[in-house]
Structure 1
Amino acid sequence: MSNPEELHDDLEEEGVHDSNHYGISTGIAGLLFGLAVIAFMFALADGFA
């Protein structure tokens, strides 16, 4: 039977994700979408006045 510490290390190595896989454009698009949703919610609460 394998050592639990070794098993944990194997899981950590396989679980590493590349943060630059999608590039920066999707992050910028997400921020813009979030700001647009916030602005829409403020406008909705204000009655689009």
Structure 2
Amino acid sequence: MMTRRQLFGRAALGLGTAALANVLGPDLLANSGGQAPGSHFAPRPSG
């Protein structure tokens, strides 16, 4: 059994997650292509 405090805590977390996803927009999450963006730094020279 879940207490009221746990229920409200989980509900707030779920609403916060939904609000953040709404603010970020689906395009930001959908355009990633499943790959991490490249590095901001030039590669270190080898040798």
Structure 2 length as normaliser, TM-score? 0.48
Structure number with greater Rg is 1
